Amino acid sequence: MRRPVLGSLLLASTNPERLRTWYADALDPEDNSDVGGYGVLKFGECYLFIDTRTDVSDKNPEPGRVILNFDVADARAVAARMESAGVTWLAELEDRDGSLFATAIDPDGNYVQIIQLSEAHRAGM
């Protein structure tokens, strides 16, 4: 039997177009399309679906519960792109023993982390 694969994530929003635009501008997905009424952004093998829901508030009341982690090849370049898109940082880019991490806050209050792991950290995983 084939094991489950996490292939997508749904972000519900009261303003899905604003949220979708932010992710597209800040993180430059491989694809940005509409599929069956959903905004769909492709990042590597994972799809980020963005849709509206009536059972969510304008801002995430517990943003630390789920953090979207984006593995990036050049964290400094991605951070600069995010800054030009008007990002708000929870934690600016920092070096943690050779790996680079930064945590942004999307327009709905979700935490979005960019991570550039060092070769040493990758080898230890």
Q: What is the CATH number of the domain that holds 117?
A: 3.10.180.10
Question: Is 87's pLDDT higher than 90?
Answer: yes
Domain hosting residue 113, numbered range:
8-124
Q: What mean pLDDT do residues 31-35 have?
A: 95
Indicate whether 15 belongs to any domain: yes
Identity of the residue numbered 124: G
Q: In what order do the strands lie in the sheet with 111-116?
A: 67-71, 111-116, 99-105, 88-96
Q: What is the pLDDT of residue 3?
A: 95
| pLDDT-derived band at 57, boundaries 50, 70, 90 | very high
pLDDT at position 38, please? Answer: 87
For the residues 24-49, what does the mean pLDDT come to? 95
Residue 120: pLDDT band (50, 70, 90) is confident
Nearest partner of 64 among 117, 100, 109, 107, judged by Cα: 109
Question: Is 1 inside a domain boundary?
Answer: no
Q: Is 22 within the bounds of a domain? A: yes
Domain contains 107: yes
Residue 125 scores a pLDDT above 90: no
Q: Is 93 domain-assigned? A: yes
Query: Average pLDDT for residues 53-77, to the nearest whole number?
Result: 96
Q: 29 phi and psi, to 5 degrees?
A: -65, 160
Size of the chain, expressed as the number of residues it contains: 125
Side-chain half-sphere exposure of 58, counting CA atoms within 13 A: 0
- Predicted pLDDT at 21: 96
Residue 62 lies in a domain: yes
Residue 11: which of 45, 56, 44 has the closest Cα? 56
Least confident of 16-20, 27-31, 43-47, 117-121: 117-121
pTM, rounded to two decimals: 0.92
In a domain, 112, yes or no: yes
Residue 3 lies in a domain: no
Q: How many domains does the chain have?
A: 1
